[in-house]
Structure 1
């Protein structure tokens, strides 16, 4: 486990799609009928951010948070698809790149949704490690859906890549 240097806080961001601020029991005090005790504990021991802007899609929201820019500036305003040329650009600063000079080790785990090609992977934008998925939650199930195109060349060209583990040195495992 990595510990923060003296005086330097650990930074942990929990991100979820389609979840409202009020859905966390720390914020609703149990009014929603369920508890999120681990998230509540983390929130109680840390700093809670309560002022924010939500974007219209998961891609736009992630782009805004990771770069600190309006999604219109990054071009990441709508959900990307497998094989698309659209993704996080080299000139877009990321929170990981900005934390590096301050001695932080960074990782992104879970859904990325900021581009399909290797050049768009978080590990190519300042993150020391990425382990996750490039698309929405059930993307790996889609090829098994009865209505998914059966032509193997379609899946090869447009199919989801699956879970990826990548590092800044270019190592990638699918």
Structure 2
């Protein structure tokens, strides 16, 4: 299965995670998602950042401290004033059946609490993440270094239903 097909399936799972069995869409009035980032890894342009990694597009992770050593991250934000959730799932990450559910799951809530959980499924110390938060923005980036091609993570977020969900760049 090619990366494009895997990424497409991840996007479909991500979208269908908001649909209940009776066809109701959760976050219906506030769910905004642009799938542009999912397919961004397909471009075969020249290595614009002149790094030695195998990627051939502009790195968005320059000067960011990624956590490569931990296997889990969990944070509760209460009260939650987040209005925008940004996510970048590295284009070199894989998707397997080793995850209990989708790799990325965002659930809507009305209780005023935000929860972010990250679990490293595979890849060891060459796979990392960065979480950054301002008063109203929460951003998550993942990164595969040293040519790692076996990185997989599960990211679960519980956010207010009014949160705007967008790609990081």
Instruction: Give the TM-score band, short-chain normalised.
Output: under 0.3
State TM-score, norm by structure 1.
0.27
Q: TM-score, normalised by structure 2?
A: 0.28
Is the strand fraction higher in 1 or 2?
A: 2
